[in-house]
Structure 1
Amino acid sequence: MTVEGGCHCGAVRYVLAVDAAPAIYCCHCLNCQSWAGSAFTQSALLPDGAISVTGPVIEYRFINPSGHESHQRLCGTCHTRIFNTNSARPGLVVLRAGTLDESDRLSPRLHMWVRRKQPWVVIAEDIPTFEETPPIAEFVATMLR
C-alpha cells in the first residue's frame, strides 16, 4: 500500500513507508488551535524515517516552555505545515494528517485536550476522549488497537 500526501500548493509531496494508513488523533489544546488556525489538529505518529519528502521544505525551530526543541517542517512555497519532530519524542515524527491525500478516509482513534474544544465540536460517543493529554500507556494502547 502506498500512502502519500503533500502541501496545499503541491510543491511538497511525501510518501510514507508504512503498511497501512496511519492511525490519527485530534488535539483541541489552545496551541494546536493556534497552529492550525482552526478548532483542532489531526495528527499521526510515525517512526522517524517513515516519511520521504520531496520539494522545497523549510524548517522553523523553537524552544518550548518545557525546554524541548521543536522542528516544524513546512512547504517553502505555501507554508503548509507537513510534520514536526521534537527533542521530547526522539525517533518519532508527528505528521499533519490533513496533508494526507486520502485524509477523508481516516477517523480519529482519540481526541485529547477536550476541555479546550470549541463548544460546537461534536465528538462521536464511541471515540475515547481525554480532558488533557492522555497517560502514555492509554494513548499507545488506543492508537495501536
Structure 2
Amino acid sequence: MSDIQYPLRGACQCGQLRYTLYAAPAKVVACHCKQCQKLSTSAFSITALVKADDVAFEGELAEWQRVAESGNKNYAKFCPQCGNRIYHYNPDAPEMIKLKAASLDDTRILQPTVHLWVSQKQDWYCIPDDVDVFDTQGGV
C-alpha cells in the first residue's frame, strides 16, 4: 500500500467529528468476537492500530467504557450526535489507539493482516490464507 499518501482524513457519519491520520497503522486487525460483531452489526470489526500522536481529532467526542472478559479496559470514543464509533483505547496504554478506520475517506488501508477471536467467527465467513489467525486475542 505504498501508493497511499498521508495524511488521510476521516469523519463520523454526521460530519460533526473529523480527524486526520498522519501515518500508516502499525497493524490492521479484524476481530470476530461477539462484542465486535455487535459493534459492527456485521461478521467482524476492522481496527487500525495507530499511535495516538499520529491522529488529530476535531469536534466533540463522547466516551463509553467496558471491561473485557480478559480484564482489559476497553474505552470507546464516539460522536455524541450520530453515535458513530471513532476509536477504542486502553487507558493503561494510551500511546496506541484502535481507530475504526472505515470512517476514513480513503479506506484502502483496510486490509487486515491479523484475524482475532476466530473461535467466535461466523461460520459462513472464510478467512484469507495469507493472514495471521488467532482463536482468541493473540497477536495484538
Letter paired with 2:127: I
Q: Which one has a larger percent helix, Structure 1 or Structure 2?
A: 1
- Equivalent residue for 1:57? 61
- Equivalent residue for 1:16? 21
Q: What 5-or-longer segments of structure 2 have no aligned partner?
A: 1-5
Stretch of structure 1 that moved more, 109-118 or 22-31 = 22-31
- Distance of 2:70 and 2:7 partners within structure 1: 36
In the alignment, is the contact (CA less than 8 A) between 1:24 and 1:97 conserved in 2? no
TM superposition score normalised by structure 2: 0.83
Query: Counterparts of 1:107-126 in structure 2 under 5 Å?
Result: 107-126=111-130
Report deviation, 1:58.
1.3
Task: Pick the aligned partner of 1:39 from 31, 40, 43.
Answer: 43
SS at match of 2:119: helix
- Equivalent residue for 1:143? none
Task: Pick the aligned partner of 1:5 from 10, 17, 25.
Answer: 10
CA RMSD of aligned residues (A): 2.1
Report deviation, 1:105.
4.9
Report deviation, 1:8.
1.4
Report deviation, 1:68.
4.6
Report deviation, 1:70.
3.3
Report deviation, 1:15.
0.3
- Distance of 2:40 and 2:9 partners within structure 1: 21
Report deviation, 1:115.
1.2
> Using a 3 Å threshold, how does the CA distance of structure 1 residues 72 and 47 change in structure 2: closer, same or farther?
same
TM superposition score normalised by structure 1: 0.80
Counting aligned pairs with the same residue, the percent is 33
- Distance of 1:52 and 1:70 partners within structure 2: 20
